Structure 1
């Protein structure tokens, strides 16, 4: 039998989850969540926040303790897990799914019935009243009318001959170090490439995982029926949840095409790698990276084919750090 329910609001779902854990104990559960937009005039000054329904334990609310938690025990002796809520990967996925459902419902409602926004004109009396009210309450100040400027007479400056001093060209900046490849439970790593072997690169990266071999998903031009296709946020959440349950990460091979940037943004991955072939013509690889980097912010390069080329170090001059190789 469930206990009473309360409503808790906050800026983010993580903030609400922390407050619920501290104020009501580990048995309190968030059972629903939605984003709320309130206030504002014609879309201005609106406030957005998250409103969550919390189901309390059957025995009622357990308030957060202050001072001494027990006789002879100070608050500083309380375990850190009782002072703040640090959700497990499974809990993070569950909370993210709740908020995703709430956002989907809000977007569907907005598409079905979107009220016409009132026109606001700087010539209307309503706009004048609004500006007067904002000025009265200190939101804006009275406009300051600038005084007319009187141009000063221009006095020609004496001509001074300068001798140009040669300046040595600045040394090129070294690329930032590449981060460690993520392979934890629930991690989502995207590998973007324009070559047909992008899936093979993702598989090789998964085989080097320190835990159980990571799962492989595909998107874009890499979707050929051999692996599960995932292209949206819902599919990404399902892949993360499966990874948490099976104690493994998920690698998504995304073939480069006109929709790649949009797909990567929808997946919201933890890491993004550009797959490059060290044996390919350097100019072709530079062209691909220039086009892809303009719309996708990658963490580094995953370089394959180093053993088959006489110039393996050329991939280190492409401007992005090399974080994985097959050598």
Structure 2
């Protein structure tokens, strides 16, 4: 059975760092409190944060892989939450008592909800301006068959990123990334060109196949390329397979001009970060 322990620090970030150093990187936050002691009528007191974390007992083995097993694809949401809390923007201590545990407010509840969610697995991004163009970054755009090829070509034309392909996707003129060495070389090309590498990844509907190709790539971001003209249920099934093994940052949409319900992809619950409305799937 997992065991629970209480850890404290001068900030939420400090407390979480202590917990991870003590109990391992996969600890899960169960609850958090901000405590103020001393001072005058609650003013000028010492402020500290206490968190209760849950960790496996020795010998229980590692926790199962979380959604978003690729480090570079994790959103920095937990860092943002902790920064906001440390700055005092969301957790304003009440005054009037020697010890104040400010856990009852809606702001604290919202913060804690997000913090706990981040330690158990990433949630979907809410706003995306487009894939990374940082030099050397590798962005995996995962789609069925060759759907992602049109997108990486569009990204190359409009953003200047380097286009490539992997998995079952392929097209003449695109760099092919098949293994670790190819990935390193592609990243180096991106650094030299001062841009990122957009890899169109062709997959089927198997989560295992998705995991295999993404483990070879080790992407900094994972996107899905969805065809708006396909049945929503079919698209949902393979997208869920991708989300089972990676943190999907956003979706790129193709095939809108081929359907009378172009906005059906909104049902996937992912932010739309790129649209190629005038490009047919597999083009």
Whichever structure has more strand as a proportion of its residues is 2
Say which structure, 1 or 2, has more relative contact order (CA 8 Å, 6+ apart). 2
Q: TM-score, normalised by structure 2?
A: 0.49
Q: Whose radius of gyration is greater, 1 or 2?
A: 1
